């Protein structure tokens, strides 16, 4: 497998996995706003878990992009830090 592809796949899977947490957390906030009640602690936890998963997915996708960039730079005979 080419460099960075595993990072892209795992990052995309994490983004899909985060959809189990973020909508439920947002639903808790919307419900409490509609009923003028305090927000459930579970909604806050679900949102925090979802945000952590999204941040991890973004980091993995960025790492995969960086690995692909380095591989392409090496194939072209340049140093990976050369931008020109």
Domain boundaries of the chain, sorted by first residue? 5-75
Backbone angles phi, psi at 76, to 5 degrees: -85, -5
**pLDDT band, residue 74 (cuts 50/70/90):** confident
Provide CB contacts within 8 A for 24, sequence distance 6+: 43, 46
Tokens of 69: 């960039």
**pLDDT band, residue 70 (cuts 50/70/90):** confident
pLDDT tens sequence across 47-57:
999 999 999 99
């Amino acid at each position: 497998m080419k460099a960075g592809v595993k990072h892209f796949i795992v990052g995309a899977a994490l983004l899909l996995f985060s959809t189990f947490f973020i909508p439920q957390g947002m639903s808790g906030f919307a419900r409490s706003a509609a009923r003028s009640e305090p927000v459930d602690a579970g909604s806050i936890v679900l949102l925090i878990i979802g945000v952590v998963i999204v941040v991890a997915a973004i980091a993995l996708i960025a790492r995969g992009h960086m690995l692909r960039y380095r591989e392409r730079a090496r194939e072209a005979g340049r140093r990976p830090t050369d931008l020109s």
